Structure 1
Amino acid sequence: MGGALPEEVRDGVVWRLQEAYAAGALTYEEMDRRLGRALEAGTPAELEAVVAGLPVEAPASTGVIVAAGGGRITRRGAWRVPRFLKVGSAFGRVRLDLSRAVFDGPEVEIALELGTGGARIVVPPDAVVELDGVTTGWKDLRYRPRQPSRPGGPVVRVTGAVGFGRLRVRHAWFRRRQR
């Protein structure tokens, strides 16, 4: 990372780029290119150039409840992840792919309330995962921690309970693109 800019300033630019991508204002390739420039920026002026031409920031959401009685819950692609996401299902499976999602802040808490269905959560490669607040009833928790590839990744905190299903959390793998 370049320069001695405060981390929260750089993080704000990163989140703004991701929000612009989720809103359709940037292609994935353009967002990736601008993210690289943001991480290398050494001055506030360089950071301002990275977000030049983007729409004005929208206020972040504070919570969303996703619930189902007996069906599947699936989220993938470029979807917005609020700072707090409550996911409840009595009998269904849960699949959350956060690898291309846009987070409303640097941390997200996913509160699970699952009965007999399991959950599979895919996090970005640079995410930090915290699972201390989740309990599993019948089956064990499956997660292999990995070192973040870039500093400044989101913190994904999973809390709540999984009854008779298994919780699997894994990091997404991205191939390096030639530039």
Structure 2
Amino acid sequence: MTSVPEDRSPSAREGDRDAAVQRVQEAYTDGLLTHEEMDERLHQVLSAKTGQDIEVALASLPVPDPGRSAGIAAATGRIKRTGAWRVPRKLKVNSEFGRVKLDLSRAVWEYPELDLELNLGTGSAKIRVPRDAVVDLDGLTTALKDSPYQPPRRSDGTGPRIRITGTIGFGKVKIRHAKR
């Protein structure tokens, strides 16, 4: 009597599934997938039972480079990134009339530094940074008065370094350190 070998592929983990969804969405944003292809791959990823099923859905996509530059843009409306999202080495944010909210306090930092380029027309930006982050605003120019920023007194400066550059038309930038 012969036995059928059982499938020993590890089950799909939620973190792998989330990363795969992000990778499919980025491929669509970069123009590598049509809308229909993105829908099909998202369905494959979300219904995957094993890690191998997820790999099949991502097979023809380029391997992401976490150090690459990423960009977020909107002519109007809001740009919002919160929660546990991966921070690239360089991030460029463009918004003509909308508001920007970036919460970096719970983000996943793969690099000790972030070069954040803000290009805002009339919108404003609220940026929440980790408690011990070191923020440098020297490269940021604003049409209105400079945005006030005070580093926390109790910060030991051991957190990530964030260099903010770019231009802001008639909006403001508010930077707050997380309490925890």
Q: Which bracket does the TM-score occupy, shorter chain normalised?
A: 0.5 to 0.7
* Candidates 167, 171, 174, aligned match of 1:168: 174
**Would you say 1:61 and 2:67 are equivalent positions?**
yes
Identity across matched positions, percent? 53
Question: Residue 103 of structure 1 corresponds to which residue in structure 2?
Answer: 109
Gap change, CA 1:23 and 1:106, over 3 Å in 2: farther
**1:147 Cα deviation after fit:** 4.6
Gap change, CA 1:151 and 1:136, over 3 Å in 2: closer
**Would you say 1:123 and 2:129 are equivalent positions?**
yes
Question: Residue 142 of structure 1 corresponds to which residue in structure 2?
Answer: 148
Q: Is the 8 A contact 1:116 1:165 kept in 2?
A: yes
Please give the alpha-carbon distance, in whole angstroms, between the structure 1 residues aligned to 2:139 and 2:161.
14
Gap change, CA 1:147 and 1:128, over 3 Å in 2: farther
Please give the alpha-carbon distance, in whole angstroms, between the structure 1 residues aligned to 2:154 and 2:91.
23
Please give the alpha-carbon distance, in whole angstroms, between the structure 1 residues aligned to 2:154 and 2:69.
26
Question: Residue 45 of structure 1 corresponds to which residue in structure 2?
Answer: none
Q: Is the 8 A contact 1:70 1:90 kept in 2?
A: yes
Please give the alpha-carbon distance, in whole angstroms, between the structure 2 residues aligned to 1:115 and 1:60.
28
Aligned partner letter, 1:66: I
Deviations 1:92-111 (A, max 9, x none): 00000000001220000110
Please give the alpha-carbon distance, in whole angstroms, between the structure 2 residues aligned to 1:142 and 1:97.
18
Q: Which runs of 5+ in 2 are unaligned?
A: 1-13, 17-63
Please give the alpha-carbon distance, in whole angstroms, between the structure 1 residues aligned to 2:116 and 2:82.
15
4+ runs of 1 displaced by more than 6 Å?
Answer: none
Output the TM-score relative to the length of structure 2: 0.62
Q: Is the 8 A contact 2:134 2:157 kept in 1?
A: no
Corresponding residue pairs, total? 121
Question: Residue 157 of structure 1 corresponds to which residue in structure 2?
Answer: 163
**1:145 Cα deviation after fit:** 1.1
Please give the alpha-carbon distance, in whole angstroms, between the structure 1 residues aligned to 2:125 and 2:155.
25
2:148 alignment partner, SS class: strand
Deviations 1:143-179 (A, max 9, x none): 11125645531001100011100111110102xxxxx
1:66 alignment partner, SS class: strand
**Would you say 1:82 and 2:93 are equivalent positions?**
no
**1:140 Cα deviation after fit:** 3.0
